[in-house]
Chains A and B, each alone.
Chain A
Amino acid sequence: MKKDIILAGVGGQGILTIATIIGTAALKRGMHLKQAEVHGMSQRGGDVQSHLRLSDEPIWSDLISFGGADMILSVEPMESLRYLPYLHNDGWIITNAVPFNNIANYPDIDTIYNEIKKTNNHVLFDADTIAKEIKASRSMNIVVLGAAIKHLGFTQKEIEDAIKEIFARKGDAIVEANIRALQAGIDIVK
């Protein structure tokens, strides 16, 4: 298996947590992994992305090629579009529909949705509301991850185990909330 994933969002929205969870599951399988992150100035409320590469074979480049990504996994709708040049034709966009509006010129949201709907494969849904409904409002990112795992090639159990491992030190309540969030995301694409 080989998966090249662009994780997208705005600084502070939790995309590195998604990367850590997928990465942990991949390592358990003995896969190779590279994960390029954004640190420093760009984190201050700006757009952030991470290139996550998983493969059974050794991986060379830390960066995904343009036209080479299997998935854009985004916690913000406009940010999912910023990385379209990386997505190959059969690739998926999985994105939260709720805009993170911290700029004066945020575009018309319906135009954004229309652009996302023009792509061949996409899942566009309101992960914020779902997270609130299941009383896991801080786990919006995990809801989005849930909607993606079918296309990532991991089982629910593999991702759950990774969540348990990563959140264990934060206590059972947080682990449970994230497991619920994952399930809610999975249910979206059923």
Chain B
Amino acid sequence: MDALMLLGDEALAQGALDAGISGFYAYPGTPSTEIMEYVQRSKQAEGIHRTWSSNEKTAMESAIGMSFAGKRTMAMMKHVGLNVAADPFMNSAFTGANGGLLVAVADDPSMHSSQNEQDSRFYGKFAMIPILEPSNQQECYDMAFYGFELSEKYKVPVLIRLTTRLSHSRAGVLRRTPISQNALKTPEDLFQFMLLPAIARRKYQHLIELQHDFVRESSNSPFNSFQSKAKDHSKGIICTGLAYNYLNEVFQGNDIPHPVVKICQYPLPTQQIHDLYNSCDSLVIFEEGMPLVEEQLKGLSFAGMKPIHGRLDGTLARDGELNPNKVAKALGMPDTYGKPIPEVVAGRPPMLCVGCPHSDSYLALNEAIAEYGRGHVFSDIGCYTLGFMPPYNAINSCVDMGASITMAKGAADSGHFPAIAVIGDSTFAHSGLTGLLDCIFDKSNVVIVILDNSTTGMTGGQDYTAYGKLEDICAGLGVEKEHIRVFVPFKKNYPEMVQIYKEEIAYNGVSVIIPRRECVQTLKRKHKMEG
């Protein structure tokens, strides 16, 4: 078979398809979105579950349910999405899996498109389950097969940790012969998914017992290696995931003069690390992300410990993604650099598109609240977060999915007035409903603006679960009908828009305003397709 040119995300998706998966569950989030998008385009995936979920928690829970039924399944999300899914994720380590259960999480070191750079390996360690961290596109593909086998062998979920550079980089990938899906099969032990305390205590004991097996699997893993033959033992090197590529890049594909442990499967292969430590005068550790391995090795090290270099002692920057130059510098090797960026070059931050409906919604909102000054608009995660930038300067917070509504509520509860939430339609479906219910329960004095561009815009225009139902949902939750206001955000409608904003700010209770106009990007795409 010819090699396919696939993004890391796509290679994982293709691997899962070929490994007999029966269902994918996900909410869009950079850099993980392309896993599901690939599956949705794939002819091979017909009949396999591949529609978007409301959020990462519902996705994770659905995947656990499919695993219960004996089928292979995968939940996919970005790193902060795992925070949303943390409850089912942590507990899935206790229930374990029936059909193979993979949780693919794409981290974003250097925060190219995220609000933090948390390292999902810590979640995997926290949950005490095996972690796979591919170092290239082929490993993304192969680890789908391997991950399902590992998951079914020990009946545990397996975390697959990707990072932006791998998720969004293409390379040739060789496929294997596809295998068929699992048959439906109820768990043999009907207590398996019952986490009542008495049973959960037993499950925890079992998970603890499995740890030795997981370490043994890591030590024998085809994705881990110990290159012990090298001559120069002044340093030993540990590389995790992508860092292994940068190390080889620095040595331009030649033999590396120091012993190297490559780690792409966790828990840590302790024997190899032990042997490396004993045979070398010092260690240098390269991790794409936070210093998980380094912290474990150092522990509370005192006198007599050999030097261990990495992110904790400043050999490498504590934050940000790695690159070949950082690795070269840390090894004391010659570093290269072109000319500096000329001073004349101006920043070109992302911004709302020309003609974006959010732009009109914001300008009218600014006018409506001018008399109160700034500091009244809580916002959320999406394209509209760019309303923070000039010329809008329209919003004052961006914390996590859904936080606009509940932060506005908390501020309103304290007497802050006006308290306005601005949230996207897809974000509202993801995490806004429960917050709105809180507002209604307390009759909080808030104005909630649901910017409806009829898509999940920021990640490229995916559909979402509450499409076409926003008014019904709000009314159903208990917002009074006369305080659910809809307008079309166009410049010509400014007087009406400003008036509606003002009237609802004046109302002492829960108001929902829905500016509705389709995203210009999805509209353009539709026109193109219609020719």
A residues contacting the other copy or chain, number (CB 8 A): 55
A10, B348: Cβ atoms under 8 Å? Answer: yes
Chain A, residue nearest B78 (CB):
A40
Interface residues of B in 222-253 (CB under 8 A from A): 242, 245-246, 248-249, 253
Complex interface: stretch among A59-67, A121-129, A159-167, A179-187: A59-67
* In the assembled complex, B323 has its CB within 8 A of some CB on chain A: yes
Whole-angstrom CA separation of A18 from B186 in the bound complex:
51
Q: How far is the CA of A10 from the CA of B354 in the complex (A)?
A: 14
Complex: A41 Cα to B110 Cα, angstroms: 13
Of A39, A59, A105, the contact of B168 (CB 8 Å cutoff)? A39
Contact check: which of A39, A85, A89 meets B30 at CB < 8 Å?
A39
Minimal Cβ-Cβ distance residue in B for A43: B350
**Chain A nearest CB: distance from B300 CB in Å?**
35
**Does chain A have a CB within 8 A of B339?**
yes
Alpha-carbon separation in the docked complex, A106 to B3 (Å): 43
A106 touches B346 (CB 8 A): yes
Q: Give, as a whole number of angstroms, the nearest-CB distance from B456 to chain A.
A: 12
Q: Interface stretch among B118-126, B169-177, B406-414, B438-446?
A: B169-177
Q: Is the CB of A66 within 8 A of B337?
A: yes
Q: B-facing mask of A16-52, CB < 8 A → 1, else 0?
A: 0000000100010000111111111111111100010
* Cβ contact of A85, chosen from B7, B165, B242, B338, cutoff 8 A: B338
- Residue of A with least CB distance to B336: A67
* B198 touches A (CB below 8 Å): no
Q: Which residues of A are found within 8 Å of B335, using beta-carbon distances?
A: 66
Also in contact, A62 and B342, with CB within 8 A (given A33-B5, A35-B171, A39-B460)? no
The answer to whether A40 and B337 touch across the interface, beta carbons within 8 angstroms, is no
Judge whether A62 and B346 touch: CB under 8 Å.
no
| Chain A residues whose C-beta falls within 8 Å of the C-beta of B386 in the assembled complex | 44
B242, A62: Cβ atoms closer than 8 Å: yes
Query: Is A1 among interface residues, defined by CB-CB distance under 8 A?
Result: no
Q: Which residues of B contact A43 (CB under 8 A)?
A: 350, 460
- CA separation between A10 and B353, bound complex, in Å? 12
Q: Chain B contact residues (Cβ within 8 angstroms of A): what range?
A: 35 or more
How many A-B residue pairs lie within 8 Å, measured between CB atoms? 161
Closest residue of B by beta carbon distance from A65? B324
Contact between B112 and A42, CB atoms less than 8 A apart: yes
| Interface assignment of A87: CB less than 8 Å from any CB of chain B | yes
Once the chains are docked, how many angstroms separate the CA of A180 from the CA of B35?
Answer: 36
The residue of chain B having its C-beta at the shortest distance from the C-beta of A24 within the complex is B5
10 cross-chain pairs, A with B, having the tightest CB-CB distances, nearest first: A67-B336, A40-B30, A40-B113, A46-B350, A61-B249, A44-B350, A41-B113, A62-B169, A36-B169, A60-B248
Instruction: For the complex formed, measure the closest distance between the CB of B502 and the CB atoms of chain A, giving whole angstroms.
Output: 30
CA distance A58 to B346 in the complex (A): 36
Q: Is B34 an interface residue (CB 8 A)?
A: yes
CB distance from B383 to the nearest CB of A (A): 7
The answer to whether A88 and B338 touch (CB under 8 A), given A60-B253, A78-B346, is yes
Residues of B within 8 A of A106 (CB): 346
22 A/B residue pairs, CB under 8 Å, sorted by A: A23-B5, A32-B172, A33-B170, A35-B5, A36-B165, A37-B7, A38-B112, A39-B30, A40-B30, A42-B350, A45-B351, A62-B242, A68-B324, A68-B336, A78-B345, A79-B348, A85-B340, A87-B338, A102-B351, A103-B346, A112-B345, A119-B339
- Docked pose: A61 CA to B171 CA in angstroms: 11
Please state if A41 and B5 are interface contacts (CB–CB under 8 Å): no
On chain B, the residues within 8 Å of A61 by CB distance are 245-246, 248-249, 323-324
CB < 8 Å neighbour of A107 from B249, B338, B346: B346
A65 touches B348 (CB 8 A): no
Residues of B within 8 A of A46 (CB): 348-351
Known: A63-B324, A65-B324. A86 touches B171 (CB 8 A): no
Cα separation A105 to B98 with both chains bound (whole Å)? 58
Contact, CB under 8 Å: A63 / B339 = no
Q: Answer yes or no: B522 CB below 8 A from chain A CBs.
A: no
A64 to chain B, nearest CB (A): 8
How near does chain B come to A153, taking the closest CB pair, in angstroms?
A: 19
* Cβ proximity bits B455-472 to A, threshold 8 Å, 1 near / 0 not: 000111000000000000
The answer to whether A66 touches B348 (Cβ under 8 A) is: no
Are the CB atoms of A36 and B168 closer together than 8 Å?
Answer: yes
Is A37 touching B168 in the complex (CB atoms < 8 A)? yes
Report the separation of the CA atoms of residues A42 and B400 in the bound assembly, to the nearest whole angstrom: 19
Write the nearest CB–CB distance from A31 to chain B, whole angstroms.
10
Complex Cα gap A67–B335 (Å) = 9
Query: What 1/0 mask marks residues of chain A from 87 to 103 whose CB sits below 8 Å from any chain B CB?
Result: 11101000000000011
Q: Tell me, in angstroms, the Cα distance from A84 to B343 when the chains sit together.
A: 12
A69 within 8 Å of B (CB atoms): yes
| Closest residue of B by beta carbon distance from A62 | B169
**CB of A111 closer than 8 Å to a CB of B:** yes
Do A81 and B342 touch across chains, with their CB atoms under 8 A apart? yes
A41-B458, A45-B351, A63-B323 given; 7 more Cβ-contact pairs under 8 Å:
A27-B5, A45-B350, A60-B245, A61-B323, A66-B338, A85-B337, A102-B351
Q: Does B67 contact A (CB under 8 A)?
A: no
A103 to chain B, nearest CB (A): 6
Residue from B246, B253, B336, B459 having most chain A Cβ neighbours under 10 A: B336
Q: Is B352 interfacial (CB-CB < 8 Å)?
A: yes
- Asked if B33 is at the interface (CB within 8 A of a chain A CB), the reply is yes
Tell me, yes or no, whether A82 is within 8 Å of chain B by CB.
yes
Given A44-B386, A61-B245, also A34-B171 (CB < 8 A): yes
Contacts of A81 in B (CB 8 A): 341-342, 344-345
A172 in the interface (beta carbon within 8 A): no
Q: How far is the CB of B322 from chain A (nearest CB, A)?
A: 9
Q: Which residue of A lies closest to B356 (CB)?
A: A44
The residue in chain A whose Cβ has the minimal distance to the Cβ of B351 is A45
How near does chain B come to A169, taking the closest CB pair, in angstroms? 13
Enumerate chain B residues within 8 angstroms of A41, measured Cβ to Cβ.
30, 112-113, 350, 458
Q: Which of A40, A58, A68, A112 is most buried by chain B, counting CB atoms within 10 A of its CB?
A: A40
Asked whether B172 lies within 8 Å of A33 as measured between CB atoms, the reply is yes
Enumerate chain A residues within 8 angstroms of B31, measured Cβ to Cβ: 39-40
Does any Cβ of A come within 8 Å of B150's Cβ? Answer: no
B434 within 8 A of A: no
Is the CB–CB distance between B342 and A115 below 8 Å?
Answer: yes
Q: List chain B residues, Cβ under 8 A from A23.
A: 5, 170
Please name all residues of chain B whose beta carbon is closer than 8 Å to the beta carbon of A32 when the two chains form the complex. Answer: 171-172
Residue of B nearest to A105 (CB): B346
Verify B5–A115 contact, CB threshold 8 A.
no
Q: Counting CB contacts under 8 A, is B390 at the interface?
A: yes
- Does B325 belong to the interface (CB within 8 Å)? yes
